[in-house]
Amino acid sequence: MTSNDWIRKHRNCLVVGPTGVGKTWLCCALGDKACREDFSVAYHRVPRLFTALSMAHGDGRYAKMLRTLSRVDLLILDDWGPEVLTAQQRRDLLEIVEDRYNARSLLITSQIPVKQWYDIIGNPTLADAILDRIVHNAYRIELSGESMREAIDGDAEYGLSVVPSAPAPTPDR
């Protein structure tokens, strides 16, 4: 993955796993590596992207936004699912995926296993069209383990100790 050949070949990458195992960290590291090799990269959290697309429909920026998304070498879609997509979100996702198919790469992170993505899309016909373009040429990375956030919160057991700072002294009056 770190050679970026998958981006050169317009393949996709799907990173799935439970909360806190490092999906976002991994996708950002792969995006950083791609940038260092002069690939263009855009990162979007899926819920915020759908909100932005919805607003773009209303103010006339939709076509421009789709063009922008279609032109980057690597489009990172972080935090896919778990809510079922609306009809508009399904159409937007199909447009994004169709524009990028065999031309640019997607990196998608999700807590939801890929086999359940049909349910998230919510419409069997559109789910077939969307997932056929995403999944068939994708590398899959399945992460497991304990939450990294829990490990950070329990840092004393990893040989680290955190000493709370003393309150600032108050001047005598």
CA–CA distance, 161 with 155 (Å, rounded to integer): 7
pLDDT in tens, 11-66: 999 999 998 888 999 999 999 999 999 999 999 999 999 999 999 999 999 999 99
CA–CA distance, 88 with 91 (Å, rounded to integer): 5
CA–CA distance, 92 with 90 (Å, rounded to integer): 5
Global pTM?
A: 0.84
Burial of 9 (0-12, 13-18, 19+ CB in 10 A): exposed
Q: Residue 6 pLDDT > 70, yes or no?
A: yes
Among the listed ranges 77-86, 94-103, 148-157, 161-170, which one has the minimum average pLDDT value?
161-170
Instruction: Residue 28: name the closest of 10, 14, 42 by CA.
Output: 42
Kindly state the helix (H) or strand (E) to which residue 12 belongs, with its residue range. strand 12-16
Structural domains of the chain, with CATH: 5-144 (3.40.50.300)
